[in-house]
Amino acid sequence: MAVTTRTVPEICAAAQRAARELATASTEAKDAALEATAKLLEGRSAEILEANAADLADERAAGLTSALKDRLTLSEERIAAMADGVRTVAALEDPIGEELERKTLASGLELRKVRVPLGVVAVVYEARPNVTIDCAALTIKSGNAIVLRGSSYAERSNGALAAIVQEALAEAGLPEDAALLVAGGGREELAELATQDGTVDLLIPRGGEGLKSALKDVATVPVIYAAAGNCHVYVHADADLEMARRIAYNAKVQRPGVCNAAETLLVHAAVASEFLPAALADLHAAGVELVGDRQAREAAAGVEVGEATVADWGTEYLDLKMVVGVVSSLEEAVEHVNSHGTSHSEAIVTSSEDAAARFAAGVDAAVVYTNASTRFTDGFEFGMGAEIGNSTQKLHARGPIGLRELTTYKYVVRGDGQVRE
């Protein structure tokens, strides 16, 4: 079974044993496990959908927002996409054993720097069952074991998916404990997972600021926060306004409940009265609740825009709500983004290479776009097959966390009898 009755320390210790075995597994064996996972996903879709339907019908899901329910919901198409993602990961080059550097030292020693797995990766996530498969695929390919802790309201879905991964691992002759699922529990269990020094090599929380804050208070293992995405689209004075209209709409509406959806639209004052009426009408027609500053409200030309509060500028809505502001310069836009953003994904729409370069240089974010929607910040879109999260930090990994971000390195040194004088 994917969900075990073992304690958190027992689960992490079992994962560590599996990680040591998986670290030396051949690429062929890891790829065989991934292909088996994809086939089982396709063959067991009815079983997965039944588990997902039970989660959606459970009273624990009753209070979820429409955006969170969308993230929880699986379909034949989403299961097929998961299988495709697993096969894409399998087709990627195995990062383990990659030689990063080689040189001969003054002592005559031959030094090689080679890529190796991290060991045990723990992931805490909310709502999205597909994360179970994406994370497992990436860790298997990169030679890591994974401990998964999903939401209680996705327990049946996650259990069905994790069981498939375990079956695939066994079919390929790899340890089943390389993918273990901790049943969704309370804050005490989360704290216990975050303090497994010696067995958990990296913890990646995928969730909002509440989860981030809870872990910051207790975590003693290394953490990469795949945290909130308060993303902005800035329309510069020289922008192609039709292009900007499409980008702003896509960034907000295409899938509002995800971290790379835009929460703020900033517009240069020189084009606000020309751009905002049509752009805001598009957003309003799509059901987006709009709030804004005084200049944005005055330029709305009859489109309903409420008064933005101080809190609105720093809020990740994950829903059909957007805050709109008017700025007087590119520098003011950069300052606004850096003051209110979460270092996730930011976009400028401009016809000026100079403006694009200044925005990219000035904005503190993992990903900066010119003339494109923020919705592309995604491991699959970036050619990584999938992602284990989007890091908003600067150390080790930043942006989508793929195969290489789940590795470290070691120095392998060969001599012929040298001793240090």
Could you report the per-residue pLDDT of 352-382, keeping only the tens digit for each?
Answer: 999 999 999 999 999 999 999 999 999 889 9
Cβ-contact 277, 303 below 8 angstroms: yes
39, part of any domain: yes
Same domain, 296 and 153: no
Say if residue 122 is in the same domain as residue 167.
yes
Same-domain check for residues 216 and 125 = yes
- pLDDT, residue 216, reads 85
For residue 382, being part of any structural domain is answered with no
Do 190 and 294 share a domain, yes or no?
no
Both 89 and 235 in one domain: the answer is no
pLDDT at 392: 87
Residues 324, 272: Cα–Cα separation, whole Å = 11
Among the residue ranges 6-20, 39-53, 216-230, 269-283, the one predicted with the least confidence is 216-230
**Domain count of the fold of the chain:** 2
CATH code: domain of residue 153 = 3.40.605.10
How high is the pLDDT of residue 274?
Answer: 97
400 and 224 Cβ atoms separated by less than 8 Å: no
pLDDT score of 185: 60
Domain, as residue range, for 158: 8-226+388-414
Q: Are 366 and 389 in contact (CB under 8 A)?
A: no
Q: How confident is the model at residue 1 (pLDDT cuts 50, 70, 90)?
A: very low
pLDDT digits 0-9 by tens, 304-333: 999 999 999 999 998 999 999 999 999 999
Regarding whether 179 and 69 lie in a shared domain, the answer is: yes
Mark whether 14 and 122 lie in a shared domain: yes
- Split at pLDDT 50, 70, 90, the class of 206 is confident
Q: pLDDT tens digits for 103-115? A: 999 999 999 999 9
C-alpha distance from residue 228 to each of 124, 138, 282 (Å): 14, 22, 26
79 and 130: one domain?
yes
Contacts of 167 (CB under 8 A, 6+ apart): 36, 40
CA angle, residues 258, 149, 214, in degrees to nearest 5: 75
Query: Is residue 242 located within the same domain as residue 221?
Result: no
Task: Give the pairing of strands 399-400 and 390-391.
Answer: antiparallel
Say which CATH number the domain at 270 has.
Answer: 3.40.309.10
The top-scoring range by mean pLDDT among 1-10, 178-187, 255-264, 344-353 is 344-353
Is residue 421, in this structure, part of any structural domain at all?
A: no
Per-residue pLDDT band for 152 (boundaries 50, 70, 90) equals confident
Quote the CA–CA distance of 418 and 277 in Å, as a whole number: 75
- Determine, yes or no, domain membership for 3: no
The answer to whether residue 1 sits within a structural domain is no
Same-domain status, 222 and 110: yes
Q: What is the mean pLDDT of residues 2-15?
A: 84
63 versus 192: the higher-pLDDT residue is 192
CA dist 215 and 306 (Å) reads: 35
Q: How far apart are CA 402 and CA 387, in angstroms?
A: 5
Look over the chain and give the mean of its residue pLDDT values, rounded to a whole number: 94
What is the pTM (predicted TM-score) of this model? 0.85
Residue 142 lies in a domain: yes
In this structure, the answer to whether residues 186 and 264 fall within a common structural domain is no
